[in-house]
Amino acid sequence: MPVKAFADAKVRLADVLAPAAREALARTMAEGVLRAAYPLPVTVVCDDEGVAEWARLHGATVAWTPGQGLNGAVQAGVAALADAGVRQVIVAHADLPFAADVTSVAWFAGVTLVPDRHDDGTNVACVPIGSGFTFAYGPGSFARHRAEARRLGLPLRILRDPALGWDVDNPVDLEGVPVGA
What tens digit of pLDDT does each residue of 12-41 get?
999 999 999 999 999 999 999 999 999 999
Flag whether 50 is in a domain. Answer: yes
Nearest CA-CA partner of 88 in 106, 74, 113: 106
Flag whether 96 is in a domain. Answer: yes
Q: What is the DSSP letter of 164?
A: H
Q: Which domain holds residue 57?
A: 6-168
Assign residue 42 the CATH number of its domain.
3.90.550.10
What tens digit of pLDDT does each residue of 102-154 get?
999 998 999 999 999 999 999 999 999 999 999 999 999 999 999 999 999 99
Q: What is the DSSP letter of 8?
A: G
- Say if residue 181's pLDDT is above 60: no
Flag whether 181 is in a domain. Answer: no
Domain count of the chain? Answer: 1
Query: pTM for the whole thing?
Result: 0.95
Flag whether 173 is in a domain. Answer: no
